[in-house]
Amino acid sequence: MKTSLNIFLLFLILCASCGSRKANDNKETAVQADTVKKFTLPLIPAMLNTPELRADYLVRHYWDNMDFTDTTYINLPDVTEQAWVDFIDILKIVPDTTAITAIKQMYKMADQKKVVFFYYTDLAEKYLYDPNSPMRNEELYIPVLDAMLESKVLNDTEKILPQGRRELAEQNRIGRPAEDFTYTLLSGKSGTLYGVKAKYTLLFINNPGCHACEEGIEELKQAPAINKEFAAGSLKILAVYPDGKYEYYDKHNCFKKGSFSPGDRHLTLEWKGIRFSTYICYDLRFPEWSRNQGEYDVAIYIANWPEFRQDDWNRLLRERAIENEAYVVAVNCAGTDLTGLVYRGESCVIAPDGEVRARCRDYWDDVVVHKVCKVHKVIK
């Protein structure tokens, strides 16, 4: 009897333990469910019963439930990036004025923490400005640039790039007169876009030998509207292409001997009176190769220096600037490559005295703009 009782009590304890663990498991699951980050769409009032009214309400209130001060969201692209892409997609079904207003409102809400604001402006650049993006739309990118220029969290230096892009965006906008330019014919005779006398002018920018360009030409030949206007004399086609001139620099100091044939010449280019000398990656470790005898004002280093060599990268860049009394513009890879190697970036502009004048954000694709000037002192 005593043995049976003990077994019964043990059974009760085991059942209670299992039940307790199950209850705890359920509680933990409930807590985890509550802490999962997600994007919640606004609830559209039932009284808005037409597609136009519902779409208008949705874009205007799309971000109402988003906490733009919560920085954890920027590490959840499945939530935030997807929400942003869906938002841009919805803008297609509302009037342009409504879409622009919604974008301005959204970035005004995001203008609270710099890291969050940058995250969403980077998304706009990726989807609305990148020429390879299927969603590219410069008209929708303009209000993003305006938001950056009006931002309270960005400093004056961080507003230089959007200011430049804003000015470029004003050129050749739909419905506005195109920018004039000068071209040169094979005969050597020059002309201008506005010198083409026709009711319509089709500007075709191509590259001889380009397969995609040849396909474009064939499509133009078969377009009824173009053939009709061309036959009537009301359309002229101006085809322009690069003149084919280019310069190149071969890396002189190869990281792995025998992997490439090293270059044996320097390359110095002049633009607006400033002389630029170019170098690649491992060239940075060899001061004698970049020795400046008054030939250049700016040394440009393009590199893939991994994170574990970042201290060397920063030290050597300052040394090259100081010893050559020249500006150094350093462009380094940022992110993680296919082998898992991490690149911190730290692209920067360094003055001849070794002071870092501008620096990109670590681990991000970023752009900084800084004015450099001609170095008057000639080193002997």
Report d(CA 251, CA 279) in Å as an integer.
Answer: 7
pTM: 0.59
CB 277 within 8 A of CB 297: no
Look at residue 284 in the predicted model and tell me its pLDDT.
94
Look at residue 3 in the predicted model and tell me its pLDDT.
40
Look at residue 37 in the predicted model and tell me its pLDDT.
85
Look at residue 16 in the predicted model and tell me its pLDDT.
35
**Mean pLDDT (10-residue bins), the chain, 380 residues:** 35 35 42 66 94 95 96 93 95 95 97 95 94 91 97 90 89 85 87 92 84 87 92 91 76 74 87 92 93 94 93 95 96 88 92 92 80 64
Look at residue 244 in the predicted model and tell me its pLDDT.
65
Look at residue 146 in the predicted model and tell me its pLDDT.
97
Packing angle, helices 80-90 and 51-61, rounded to 10: 140
Bridge partners of residue 300, in order along the sequence: 278, 329
